[in-house]
Amino acid sequence: MASSRLVAGSAVADAEFSRDISLGTTIIAVQFAGGVVLGADSRTSSGSYVANRTQDKITPLLDHVYLCRSGSASDTQAIAGYVQYYLAQLQAERGGPVRVETAAMMAMQMAYGNKNALQAGLIVAGFDADGGSVYAIPLGGTLLRVPFAIGGSGSAYITGWCDKNWRGDMSRDEALDFVRNALRHAMARDSSSGGCVRTVVIDAAGASREFIPGPKLQPTYDELPAPA
Amino acid sequence: MDLGPCVSTEATGKSQAPHTGTTIVAVSFDGGVVLGADGRVSTGTYISNRASNKIQQLTDNVFLLRSGSAADTQAIGDYVRYFAEQLACELGAPPSVATVAKLVSTMNYQNKEMLMGAMIVAGYDEQQGGQVYGCPIGGTLVREQWAVDGSGSTYIWAALDDAFKEGMTRKEAEALVVDALSLAMARDASSGGIIRTVTLDKTGAHVRYIGGSDVPTWFEDLPAPNAAAAGMAVG
C-alpha cells in the first residue's frame, strides 16, 4: 500500500507524507428499537500526516441508508459513488422505497467483486419498513447482519468495551451514548483515529447529524481535559 | 506508520503483535494489587498448553507476569528470583517491589538485542503498598496504576480505561481483572482457556484458579456446556 514518490528534496520525508491516503479510523453502527445510530471519528492520514482532521466518513447512500467508510479513502469513495448511482437508478425504476438490505448487498457486490483491488471496510446501516438494521462488510466482502458493528483500526481497542457494554434493549439516547463513548475511547488509544466525533441517527423521521468537537469529548483515563 | 504492538486486523488480515499468545493484566487497588493471566500457549494452530501458569513468583511479595518469548521471560524470571533472594539475605529484609522491578527492566535493557520479553511486575510492600510496574521490551520501567500486555491486551485497553477507578476495593479489582481477561480471551485467538489470578496485600499472596467453564461469557459467547452432560467425570 505504501507508495513513495521521488520528488525534489528529502526522498525519505516525502515518501512518508506521500503514502496512500488511509482512513485509519474508528467506525461504528448500532441498531436500537426505532432505528440505527452510526458514528465515526474524523481523522484521515497520509503516513504520519493528518491530511484531514474533520473528515466526514459517514456517507448517504439513500435518504434512509448511510455508509460508514474505513480503509483506503479513495477505494471507499469510489464504492460509495457507484452504490449511490445504482441505488438512485433502482429507486427511480421501482418508484418505491429501497430496503436497507438491498443497499447493503449492493455495497457487498462491489467489495466482493473487486476484492483483490480494494481495501475497504464498510458498515451499512439504515431504517426501512422492517425497522433499523446494521450490516457489516469487512475486508474480503462478507455481508453480515449484526445488532452492532465496529470497524477500522481503532475498533480493536474497543472490542472488549463494546462486548461488555452493549445491550440489546437500548433506547435511542442510550445507543447514541454508546456510540459516542465507544468512539472517544478508540480515539484515545488509536493514533490513526482522532479529531472529532460525527454521528448520524436514522429513524422514522429521517436522518439527523450531530457533531462533537474534539475538545468537548470527555477525557478518558489519564487524559487531561482540553484547556478552556 | 507505527501503530505499536498491534496492527489493524483489517489492514493486514493478521495481527503482527510482537507480544504473542497471551493476555496479562495487573491492577492496583486500595491496599494491594491483583494480577491475572490467561492460560493458553499455542504453537501455530495447536494449543500446546491450555492451562499454563504465566505468573511467576519472584519473592514472597512480588510476582512477574510474562508475555513475549516464553524462553526469555523464564530466564529473566529465574535470574531475578536468584538476585532478589541474594538481596534479601544481604538486607535482612524482603527487597522492595521497585527494586525487583528495576532488576527485571535492567536485564531487558542490558540485553535488549537478544531479548523479547514484555513483562509486568506487581507486588506489595510496606513502603508504597500495592504497586504495578510495566517492563516492556527494550528496558523501559514505568510505574502505573494498572498495566496490560500480550496479544490479547489490544482488545481491552478501552474496557480498562473506562472501568478502572482509583481506590477500588479488593473485590472490585479482582472482578475487573477477571472481566478484562475474559473479554480479551473471547476475542484473541491466542488467549483463552483458564484464568489464574494472584491478589497481593498485607496478608500475603492469594492465588485463585478459574476453570474454563467458569470464565465469564460476553456478547456472542455461548454458555459453557455442563460438565456432567458432556460425559466428563466431575471430581
| pLDDT-derived band at A6, boundaries 50, 70, 90 | very low
| pLDDT-derived band at B15, boundaries 50, 70, 90 | very low
Q: CA B98 to CA B92: how far, in whole Å?
A: 17
pLDDT of amino acid B224: 76
Q: How do beta strands A35-40 and A197-203 pair?
A: antiparallel
pLDDT tens per residue across span A104-138: 999 999 999 999 999 999 999 999 999 999 999 99
For an interface test with B, give the residue of A122, A150, A159 to mutate (most B CBs within 10 A): A159
How many percent of chain B have pLDDT more than 90?
A: 79
- Residue A44 CA from chain centroid, whole number: 12
pLDDT of amino acid B18: 34
Burial string for A182-192 (b: 16+ CB within 10 Å, else e) reads: bbbbbbbbbbb
pLDDT tens per residue across span B28-75: 999 999 999 999 998 888 888 999 999 999 999 999 999 998 889 999
**Other beta carbons less than 10 A from residue A77's beta carbon:** 15
Longest Cα pair distance anywhere in chain B, in angstroms?
A: 56
Element (H, E) at B108: helix B97-110
Element (H, E) at B43: strand B41-43
pLDDT tens per residue across span A136-164: 999 999 999 999 999 999 999 999 999 99
Long-range contacts of A89-96 (CB under 8 A, 24+ apart): A91/A62
DSSP structure class, residue B135: E
For an interface test with A, give the residue of B3, B8, B181 to mutate (most A CBs within 10 A): B8
Closest residue in B to A185 (Cα) is B158
Q: How do beta strands B62-68 and B117-125 pair?
A: antiparallel
A157 touches chain B (CB under 8 A): yes
pLDDT of amino acid B232: 54
Q: Looking at the DSSP assignment, which residues form a beta bridge with residue A23?
A: A71
Q: Looking at the DSSP assignment, which residues form a beta bridge with residue A212?
A: A197
Mean per-residue pLDDT, B10-31:
67
pLDDT of amino acid B230: 54
Q: Which of A181, A179, A138, A167 is nearest to A36 (CA)?
A: A179
> How close A164 gets to chain B, by Cα (Å)?
6
Taking the domains of chain A in order of start, what are their residue ranges? 35-215
Mean per-residue pLDDT, B92-111:
97
Q: CA A21 to CA A42: how far, in whole Å?
A: 13
| pLDDT-derived band at B175, boundaries 50, 70, 90 | very high
- With cell 439513500, the residue in question is A62
> How close A86 gets to chain B, by Cα (Å)?
27
Q: What is the CATH number of domain A35-215?
A: 3.60.20.10
* Structural domains of chain B in order of their starting residue, each with its CATH number: 7-234 (3.60.20.10)
Q: CA B19 to CA B120: how far, in whole Å?
A: 13
CB contact under 8 A, B159 and A47: no
pLDDT of amino acid B61: 95
